[in-house]
A and B are shown apart, each in its own frame.
Chain A
Amino acid sequence: MSHKQRVVVIGNGMVGHKFLEQLVEDSAGFAELEVTVLAEEPRAAYDRVYLSAYFSGKTAEDLSLVKGNFFADSGVFLHLNTKAVAIDRELKQVTVASGEVVAYDKLVLATGSFPFVPPLPGKDREHCLVYRTIEDLEAIQAGAAVSKVGVVVGGGLLGLEAAKALRDLGLETHVVEFAPRLMAVQVDDGGGRVLRRKIEALGVHVHTGKNTQEIVDGKSARHAMNFADGSSLETDLILFSAGIRPRDELARQCGLVMGERGAIVINDQCQTSDPDIYAIGECALWSGRIYGLVAPGYQMAQVAADHIMGKTESAFRGADMSTKLKLMGIDVASIGDAHAATPGSLAYTYVDEAAEIYKKLVVSADKTKLLGAILIGEAEAYGTLLQLMLNEMTLPANPESFILPESAGGAPALGADALPDTAQICSCNSVSKGMICSTIAAGTCDLGELKALTKAGTSCGGCTALVGQILKSELAKQGIEVKKDLCEHFAYSRQELFHLIKVEKITTFDELLEKHGTGEGCDICKPTTASILASTWNEYILKPSHAGLQDTNDYFLGNLQKDGTYSVVPRMPAGEVTPDGLIAVGSVAKKYGLYTKITGGQRVDLFGARVEQLPLIWEELIAAGFETGHAYGKSLRTVKSCVGSTWCRYGVGDSVGLAVRLENRYKGLRSPHKIKFGVSGCTRECAEAQSKDIGVIATERGWNLYVCGNGGMRPRHAELFASDLDEATLVQYIDRVLMFYVRTADRLQRTSVWRENLEGGLDYLKQVVIENSLGLADELEKDMQAVADTYQCEWKTTVETPELRARFNSFINAADVPDDNIVFVEERGQIRPATPAEKAVDRIATVSL
């Protein structure tokens, strides 16, 4: 019997790992293979693209690319700490550093590249480092701890990313670049100038046109770097980021065909000059090019996997090197022929030095085709421009509109319809518009399903919006209106249900279901209805007719934690709390053995309460003068404040006082999603109000109101809505904005996303709220006043009503018996939930009453 085909992969980096995933994907083909991976690093594949996140607290596990028990489940043998040192193509075997040999039928080289360090005298001195692996980052972290100044050699993409890392580690940071500008490969002189100004504004010193000659002992710092022009720079730490070199030593040793300047030559099937050996990722050279980006590597991984499994039609045909990234918070994008190298090409540039925006378009001589672009400071047009170039689409008569600001008549984004079927929508997974359309034509009308079937949007997520647009427009063509139905029980959107409930004065879910729905309801329509009923009639949310509609957080008036316990957050308006209040919170926490933490919302969270403890805990907190903090509700969370003019020498307004009043006005307002406010006492903005749904900043003449900001998953700055308001007008506007949001937003839509989807944008919102264009202003204010007038502390009502308290019994037939699966262990002097392994071993009981 013939043995299974033995596939050996050298390197478990990003591309090598993608290759494994592609193999496993085809379960029939994979069953015929025996796969072994030789990996030099001490850990399995991790996300190098997000490597810098390691400095902002991501762990090696967070960065891991290994999904679940990938290796155990698939049976792929992974050998860590195992460097391949030689390939014998005659015997078809690989020798590893320990001397062992591994036989192969097919060999895949995915060895990536190493950082290039210029051969300077002194380059091996202490704390002269590179930036490629987690070990490198550990070395940088250790080096930074004993350094004051850091220099990055190389002002390319990676160098600037490394500079940000050094700055974040608290070092005085310099970038030294040989070329006359930063990011010389991607941007031109004009772009480089704007970029430099922006980076310097972030406190990073930039030195261009500097040729380092040697590194020697410094006087004020560990090293001194001497440059060709006679100048020098003193520093404690040096980070080389001067480009990458393919790791092609194995290929060279076994005689594979190499490129003139290194890298392993491959054909369209990713085979090297030996058809049983493949090379993929950064070590490979295709058609004279090395691709130093992950997306082309992923495409090679797919092609090589296909080819090994006999799918011979798959081919690598090159990849686009356009890039868009956020560097130190600055949008930078480069597309195609950014330097206008094409003969006869013409360029348009738009520069706004005040706003530090630089944009350039390169078009063909006849102005009909886009050849390239550079966007700095604002890159929203990236998606549109990239598609225009990749698909060689005909440009409109005035191409400059793509880079002009909206106020000057800038062009709207390109509609999905305009794209040809060949347009590559998802570059991570090579999905074309045609593939997406045919999946829709085959009957998919749901975005989630579409993503699962085509894989578009499942890696970096950058293309999801476009995939959604295509879905919408294709369905519209089929005559299917994109369903905004809440769920299978209601053929209405949230807005429509809101309207029905209000107009028909519906007060219970049962009534709504009977009149307008079908079936039993579900975990989507029940909480949504509960929220609308609360926004409209504001009854006690645990009234028998409402209780079963609530998500567990609202049902138990606490946040469910991973182990089935709940957290307790008393309201501390504006983050203000008396010493006695703090002592009372502390005493309760101590008595019930709860874990305590200061939250990001300027208050205290007590974790680890079992259901049956909740009423007892709240009884004591209420006695001490606290109210529920609604940390569990889709409702107002906190109004964050800074100390303001009462104490701060710069304050021009009493931010704490206003924040307390705002928190008390809007507490208890149930809304489509949670709402957060911030109030700062002056323009220094210590309360970060511009990242909140509602932000207020004191001015010399009153208050500036900002709306629809967001932190969280996709941060968005709030926009200035009105200036220098007195408090009465401020409250009036907030009433109107929030009630309009409550009425018209989708389920679980924060104000930021609501605002982005609002036709007419901020101007429209201003018309509705300030100019009262819909004549709704009075009604909105009245509705808000009604909610404020009917406020009750849900916990107070609950603890005072015996039959309500009975809901918190742990078991219906054993009221006070604790759940024995809730187990805590001690960490840093407090409790935390035990891990499953710990639960199996020793059980440390909670403080039980």
Chain B
Amino acid sequence: MSAAKEMNMEHAVAVCTSDKVQAGVGVAALVNGKQVAIFRLRDGSLHGVSNFDPFSQANVLSRGITGSLQGRAVVASPVYKQHFDLLTGACLEDESVTIATFAVIERDGEVLVIVD
């Protein structure tokens, strides 16, 4: 294993088995004290964003509905329905707002969140 990969592994936190994250149904994970909302899309890809919704100031984004808007993968906040880009964290309705994103990978039947 290369040094770089070893580094990565040190920062990868396993949160659950792969079957726990179903397409279109978000889950929340507690990673080093941070709340991360994890989603799987229909193509199988995994995405992580902060669970904190800056508009309602509540930890709820994992409970949003996922989807696509003009080609961008998004989650809609369940509170006031703003959409956040799952890749960049940008809010589609308000350019001045961006939420943190996290890389989420799958290895040996487990879902891992990369933290740095």
Contact = CB atoms under 8 A, between A and B. Distances in A.
B42 interface: yes
Interface in A126-163: none
Interface stretch (A244-252, A323-331, A343-351, A807-815): A807-815
B70 A488 contact: yes
Interface string A483-513: 0000011000000000000000000001000
A106 B26 CA distance: 57
B41 A812 contact: no
Contacts of A563: 58
A788 B20 CA distance: 33
B24 A548 contact: yes
Interface string B42-71: 100000000010001111100111111111
22 contacts: A519-B68, A520-B41, A520-B73, A521-B24, A522-B65, A523-B64, A523-B67, A523-B76, A525-B67, A547-B22, A548-B22, A556-B63, A560-B78, A562-B79, A564-B60, A811-B35, A812-B15, A812-B28, A812-B29, A813-B30, A821-B57, A836-B57
A555 interface: yes
A812 B27 CA distance: 6
B23 interface: yes
Interface of B: 15-16, 20-25, 27-31, 35, 38, 41-42, 52, 56-60, 63-71, 73-74, 76, 78-79, 81, 83
B69 A522 contact: yes
B58 A526 contact: no
A555 B63 contact: yes
B51 to A, nearest CB: 9
A527 B25 CA distance: 13
Contacts of A551: 65, 78
A526 B74 CA distance: 13
Contact of A560 (B21, B24, B60, B68): B60
Contacts of A525: 67
Contacts, number: 93
Interface string A626-651: 00000000000000000000000000
B28 A811 contact: yes
Interface residues on A, range: 20 to 34
A814 B60 CA distance: 16
B39 to A, nearest CB: 10
A562 B76 contact: no
Contacts of A547: 22, 25
Given A560-B79, A812-B28, A521 B68 contact: yes
A819 interface: yes
A552 interface: yes
A552 B30 contact: no
Nearest to B70: A488
B40 to A, nearest CB: 10
Given A564-B60, A811-B29, 7 more contacts: A522-B67, A523-B76, A548-B23, A564-B56, A564-B58, A812-B16, A812-B20
A817 B38 CA distance: 17
A520 B57 contact: no
Interface in A804-840: 810-814, 817, 819, 821, 836
Given A523-B76, A556-B63, A811 B30 contact: yes
Given A520-B42, A527-B65, A552 B60 contact: yes
Nearest to A560: B78
Contacts of A819: 35, 59
Nearest to B65: A523
A551 B60 CA distance: 12
A280 interface: no
B106 to A, nearest CB: 14
Contact of B59 (A488, A544, A564): A564
B67 A520 contact: yes
Interface of A: 488-489, 510, 519-523, 525-527, 544, 547-549, 551-552, 555-556, 560, 562-564, 810-814, 817, 819, 821, 836
Nearest to A547: B25
A526 B15 contact: no
A551 B52 CA distance: 18
B93 to A, nearest CB: 12
B66 A520 contact: yes
Closest 4 CB pairs of A and B: A548-B24, A522-B67, A520-B68, A552-B78
Nearest to B23: A548
Contacts of A813: 15-16, 29-31
Contacts of B67: 489, 519-523, 525-526
- Give the residue among A556, A813, A817 with the most B Cβ atoms within 10 A: A813
Nearest to B111: A812
A519 B41 CA distance: 11
Nearest to B74: A522
A552 B63 contact: yes
A810 B28 CA distance: 7
A522 to B, nearest CB: 3
A522 B74 CA distance: 8
Contacts of B29: 811-813
B30 A814 contact: yes
Contacts of B64: 523, 552
Contacts of B74: 522
Nearest to A563: B58
B102 to A, nearest CB: 14
A811 B27 CA distance: 7
Contacts of B52: 821
A541 to B, nearest CB: 13
Contacts of B59: 564, 819, 821
B110 to A, nearest CB: 11
Contact of A821 (B25, B58, B78): B58
Contacts of A544: 22
Contacts of B22: 544, 547-548
B56 A562 contact: yes
A548 B30 contact: no
A47 B112 CA distance: 54
A747 to B, nearest CB: 14
B38 A812 contact: yes
Which residue, A555, A556, A564, has most C-beta atoms of chain B within 10 A?
A: A564
B88 to A, nearest CB: 16
B66 A548 contact: yes
A488 B69 CA distance: 8
Listed residue (B15, B29, B68, B74) with the most chain A CB atoms within 10 angstroms of its CB: B68
